[in-house]
A = this chain, B = another copy of it.
Amino acid sequence: MNFLEERILKDGIVKEGNVLKVDSFLNHQMDIALFDEIGKEFKRRFAGKNINKILTIEASGIGIACVAAQHFHVPVVFAKKAKSINLEGEMYVAEVESFTHKCKNQVIVAQKFLSAKDHVLIIDDFLANGCALQGLIQLVQSAEAAVEGIGIVIEKGFQSGGRMIRNLGYQLESLAIVDSMDAEKGTIVFREQGNE
Contacts and interface: CB of A to CB of B under 8 A. Distances in A.
A50 interface: no
Interface residues of A, number: 42
A78 interface: yes
A interface secondary structure, majority: mixed
A23 B62 CA distance: 15
A110 interface: yes
Contacts of A28: 77-78, 80, 87, 109-110, 113
A31 B110 contact: no
A110 to B, nearest CB: 6
A151 interface: no
Contacts of A24: 112-113
A70 B25 CA distance: 15
Interface in A106-163: 109-110, 112-113
Max chain B Cβ within 10 angstroms of own Cβ: one of A21, A62, A73, A80: A62
Interface in A34-79: 35-36, 58-59, 62-63, 65-67, 69-70, 73-78
Contact of A77 (B30, B75, B100): B30
8 contacts: A19-B86, A23-B113, A30-B75, A32-B70, A32-B75, A59-B80, A62-B66, A82-B101
